[in-house]
Amino acid sequence: MLMPLIVVAFVIRGMEVIKLFDEVYVMTRGGPGTTTETISTYLQQVAFGDFRLGYAAAAATVVLIVTVVVIYQGLRPIRNRVATERG
């Protein structure tokens, strides 16, 4: 009975992790080294630090596609359960 709630909680938390940028950047700027580097801080460093805007845009597109696929797969059990309950 809790499966839909758990899946939704994981999806929402996963989206928050991908968007995480400001706290890490303000507190550590992705360092020391790359220990606190996230996807967002990596893309920002590549785009504006290394001036590789095309690479950063392509990487962000890949991250978007992977996120959509993972969320779609994660929500599949909820859709299946709703479909079976409706008849």
Statement: the pTM of the whole predicted model exceeds 0.85: no
Domain segments of the chain as ranges: 8-86
- Please, which pLDDT band fits residue 50 given cuts at 50, 70 and 90? very high
User: Given a cut of 80, is residue 66 above it in pLDDT?
Assistant: yes
pLDDT(58) > 90: yes
Average pLDDT over residues 49-60: 95
Segment 6-17, tens digit of pLDDT: 888 888 888 888
pLDDT at residue number 87: 64
- Burial (Cβ within 10 Å: 0-12, 13-18, ≥19) of residue 37: middle
What are the structure tokens assigned to 57, written together?
């845009």
Residue 70: other Cβ atoms inside 10 A: 15
How high is the pLDDT of residue 1? 73
